[in-house]
Structure 1
Amino acid sequence: AVLKGVVKDQSIFEKAVIAVGNTLGVSKVQADELQVAPAPGTAAAPAKEPTFYTVKKGDNLWKIAEKSYGKGQGVKNTVIFEANKPMLTHPDKIYPGQVLRIPDLA
């Protein structure tokens, strides 16, 4: 699926990618032509590229946190869970093919 247009802010950009990425039959989301509008009275600042992860068979949020943030960082799985609510309703209920937003810890 290809997303095009302008969205109000970074969170809407990320929600659009997640929503489309979790649509049955969509295997890849291309968002190169989807842009975040600058706030009124400010220059357009380049937004940090969001990170997304496609769930694979055998994954759980702990493993995904360790892959994303480094060995020993599995405890950060709660950050990933919170960033993907309301799509995720329980941290143990993720499925292969789901697209999750991996928030930056900085």
Structure 2
Amino acid sequence: MKFNKRPFVITALILLLFALNTFGPYNVLTALTANNLAEYPELQQELEGKIVDIDYKGRGTYQVITDSKDYIIVEIHSQESVVKYKVYELSRGVEIYKNPM
């Protein structure tokens, strides 16, 4: 009897990707729907200018770029069914190169 490895490998890969998406710091589904933040009028009132881009950084953190300033938005989970956001103005960004060695 010949054992076909292809279905086993595909199933293992799907389970691995699901586990990484669920338990890892970066949620792919949230990254794909990050632009939905622009639809909240309460959030738009907190920001100065029109939203140009929203970039998901991981763990409920978003970088929002408007035409006048940049912001960091952090999603705060509360005990209620309401999701709260804290908005921070990004005064400057720092890029650090980390050597993997």
Which has the higher relative contact order, 1 or 2, with Cα contacts under 8 A spaced 6 or more apart?
A: 1
Q: Which has the higher strand share?
A: 2
TM-score (norm 2): 0.25
TM-score (norm 1): 0.25
